[in-house]
A and B are shown apart, each in its own frame.
Chain A
Amino acid sequence: MLSTVPTVLADVRYFEPWWIQILKGIVIFAVGLQLVPIVLLAERKLLGRFQQRYGPNRVGPFGAIQPLADILKLLTKEQFRPRTSIGWLFALAPIVSIITAVAAFAIIPFGNTVDIFGTRVGLYGVDVSIGPLYLFAFGAVAFYGIMLGGWASGSKYSFLGAMRAAAQLISYEVSQGLALIGVVMTAGTLSLTGIVEAQQGMWYIVPQAVGFIVFLVASFAETNRAPFDLVEADAELVGGYNTEYGGGRFASYFFAEYLNVLVVSGVVTTVFLGGWLLPFGIDPPTWVDPFVVLAKMSIFVLFFIWVRATLPRLRYDQLMSLGWKILLPLATLNALVTAILVVVTH
């Protein structure tokens, strides 16, 4: 007889009590909610500096309270929707985006299992036995948030943006998965904490450099960030799928987008950069682990912002060519070579 909803803690032979799981849910949501404004501010300030101007610097010292002002403004705006839109889908779409973003955030390990007041708790939401597949599953569902938003708006710009998003997402999904397969084969396990543990000797960015590059490029496409942001191309589509969205719903979409950036940074940190492991064998006390992960994540967030400021947007056919003709063969080759090497050195 099946007992409670199975907490699939890979390789960890304990079950967390239900109140810990609820607590973790709240904590993950809260952490995400706190990190997004910081990323938002960093993006605007850094973009400003890259473009040789100050970013926002009016609200608060050096513009530090700008995100708060933004969010307050957005939340207090009137919630409108176009006459040609489909009401319930229009309202549902941003919710789908946020749910999938937060759910994907639950998989990033901020540390190993620790003892908090006698209860063993893992410093992560859930450690599924299918690891990265969980991420891809939610990424696949996240597409529907964009798609429904674009279609339910009832306007041509939104629709076109959503169609572009569809094609882009499925084109880069496969390369993303294949890039991770190399890591999974090298680590010998799908569980994310297992992958981090297996990087004790050498972080996987060294042997899996090709996979790292492929995954990074594919992640740019999956999160609709520049240079793959023709989904929301300002110059062409006014705003793509979120043209008709305003106020709180617009805030939801952007919350989801930045959270996706954080999730992807977190995954890259975990899988290629050794998670909470420090180089040179330094072994800090366990409470330092989350900060190490956050620091590594912020490197990638800054990289995302840097790329947005630097690279021009890809045209649709260039994007398709890159995804199918360059990334996919490269990812496949990477998986093949890794498989051969793993078998040979076993």
Chain B
Amino acid sequence: MAELFFFIAGIGAIAGAVGVVTLRNPFYCVLALVSHLLSLAALFLLLRAEFVAAAQVIVYAGAVMVLYVFVVAYIGGGEQPALRPPVGRGQRMIAGLCTLGLFAELMVATLGSGLKAIDSEGAPYRPGFGSPAQIGELLLTKFLLPFELASFLLLIAAVGAVVLARRRGGVGEAGDERRMSALEFARGPAPLGVGSMAEAAGDIPGGVDAESSGSVSSTIGERGGW
């Protein structure tokens, strides 16, 4: 019974991976990746690593891929023509040969070691393996430092993303961001053009009467969109 599920999940994983690389429509590529990840989660379940399976679905298929779907759905467009890099045939042939070489090497490594072990029972199963308790213990004892570093990495990646993506002023505002008063900080600045009460009353620019809608949208556009 377990073998049946293994083959289903394995075929799903490989099909998903192949689909990501070969499909033309980027949205289908993303969906293929999602199905690949779900098949991987099923493979993890077959290995009794429940926590990793759940984490895979929650984090990877459920958050990272959501962002992919988000972006691809907005700007993915329809079918894309296959990418043709501007290199000559000789270089493409060498690239193909190198790929075959790498594939052969990987096959030798994985199949070689797998076939050697095909008659054995595999790694022994220790009760408690893959449970959240055991993973938590490892993360807090043996792998404490990488765990903490990973959290710092998340922080600094968020900082970096904000640096790259935040609104920048137009001409003449180079580097002097709008500094806000403490009250505004406490209340929280609302983006312009959403129709808040302050805008309607004319306290802040952006209402319908204050300027023509064209200039409001142009201000938003100047500032880099949403």
Contact = CB atoms under 8 A, between A and B. Distances in A.
- Check whether chain A touches chain B (CB < 8 angstroms): yes
Interface of A: 1-6, 8, 128-130, 133-134, 136-137, 139-141, 143-144, 147-148, 151, 159, 162-163, 166-167, 169-170, 173, 177, 190, 315-317, 321, 325
Contacts of A133: 51, 54-55, 58, 132
A141 B62 contact: yes
Contacts of B50: 8, 128-130
Interface in B60-115: 61-63, 66-67, 69-70, 73-74
Given A4-B2, A147-B73, 18 more contacts: A128-B50, A129-B50, A130-B54, A130-B132, A133-B54, A133-B55, A136-B54, A136-B62, A140-B58, A141-B61, A147-B69, A151-B27, A162-B73, A163-B74, A166-B66, A166-B69, A173-B63, A177-B58
Contacts of B73: 147, 151, 159, 162-163
Contact of B191 (A1, A129, A134, A317): A317
Majority SS of interface residues in chain A? Answer: helix
B171 interface: no
A156 to B, nearest CB: 12
B210 to A, nearest CB: 19
A233 to B, nearest CB: 14
Listed from nearest, the 7 A-B pairs whose CB atoms lie closest are A140-B62, A133-B54, A137-B57, A2-B2, A137-B54, A130-B54, A136-B58
B188 A140 contact: no
Interface of B: 1-2, 5, 27, 31, 34, 38, 41, 45-46, 48, 50-51, 53-55, 57-58, 61-63, 66-67, 69-70, 73-74, 121, 131-132, 188, 190-191, 194
Given A2-B46, A170-B63, A315-B194, A129 B57 contact: no
B129 to A, nearest CB: 11
B1 A4 contact: yes
A129 B66 contact: no
B70 A173 contact: no
Nearest to A165: B66
B204 to A, nearest CB: 14
Residue from A2, A3, A134, A162 whose CB has the most chain B CB atoms within 10 Å:
A2
Contacts of B132: 129-130, 133, 190
Nearest to B121: A1
Contacts of B45: 6
A102 B129 CA distance: 28
A134 B54 contact: yes
Given A133-B55, A136-B62, A169-B66, A141 B38 contact: yes
B34 A166 contact: no
A15 B13 CA distance: 29
Contacts of A3: 2
Contacts of A130: 50-51, 54, 132
A81 B76 CA distance: 23
Q: Which of A3, A6, A129, A151 is packed against the most chain B CB atoms within 10 Å?
A: A129
Q: Most A CB atoms within 10 A — which of B5, B31, B67? A: B31
A317 B194 contact: yes
Contacts of B46: 2
Given A137-B62, A173-B63, A317-B194, A129 B34 contact: no
A204 to B, nearest CB: 19
A67 B27 CA distance: 37
Contacts of A140: 57-58, 61-63, 66
